[in-house]
A = this chain, B = another copy of it.
Amino acid sequence: MSSQTVLFQPRRTVQQVEEGTDLAPKFDDRGLITVVTTDATSGELLMQGYMNAEALSLTISGGEAVYFSRNRQLLWHKGATSGLTQTVRELLVDDDQDCIWLKVDVAGGASCHVGYRSCFYRRVPVGDEYAASQTGAAVEMEFTDSEKVFDPLEVYGDAPNPTVL
């Protein structure tokens, strides 16, 4: 019997999925579930990724975040290359069980391959601020982090950049 068989329940009813204690995750047509990862201490959003059933099982049983890389189509034990592993302090699931929330401690203090603490280091002006700042041209974003925590070149060397245009 695989570990998934033990960990997950089939999705039987809305009542079971929304109001019950069964873990009955909904994987999409690619076999993936969305994962939102925040810093357990600061609450800051660090990254958003995906897991397949195996990655979710390994994360639950092992206690370190394992994702599924869509670009590379393989299990991705976060930090295996960079050393920036994520220890899971809490794992929550949403109402319809198609999203996982990980609260983690990050070794080394950074989660983003660009070198920043969080992947979310730029803000977009919204509402009144948008109206006031715009001159009819495109939106201009603003950096919220001025300093990188590490130098990607030193950590990853010449490994291909994961960003796809």
Chain A interfacial positions (CB closer than 8 Å to B): 6-9, 11-14, 17-23, 26, 34, 36, 38, 42-45, 47-48, 59-64, 88, 90-96, 99, 101, 112-114, 116, 119-128, 130-131, 136-144, 161-165
Contacts and interface: CB of A to CB of B under 8 A. Distances in A.
A143 B130 CA distance: 39
A20 B139 CA distance: 12
A161 to B, nearest CB: 6
A141 B109 CA distance: 29
A96 B114 CA distance: 9
Given A6-B138, A8-B138, A19 B114 contact: yes
Contact of A45 (B36, B64, B127, B162): B36
Nearest to A57: B139
Q: How many copies are assembled?
A: 2
A78 to B, nearest CB: 14
A14 B161 contact: yes
Contact of A122 (B36, B92, B139): B92
A145 to B, nearest CB: 10
Contact of A94 (B120, B125, B164): B120
Contacts of A7: 138-139
Contacts of A130: 60-61, 63
The 7 A-B pairs of least Cβ separation, nearest first, read: A63-B127, A43-B43, A96-B163, A94-B119, A92-B120, A48-B99, A23-B139
A113 B95 contact: yes
Given A36-B36, A60-B139, A124 B92 contact: yes
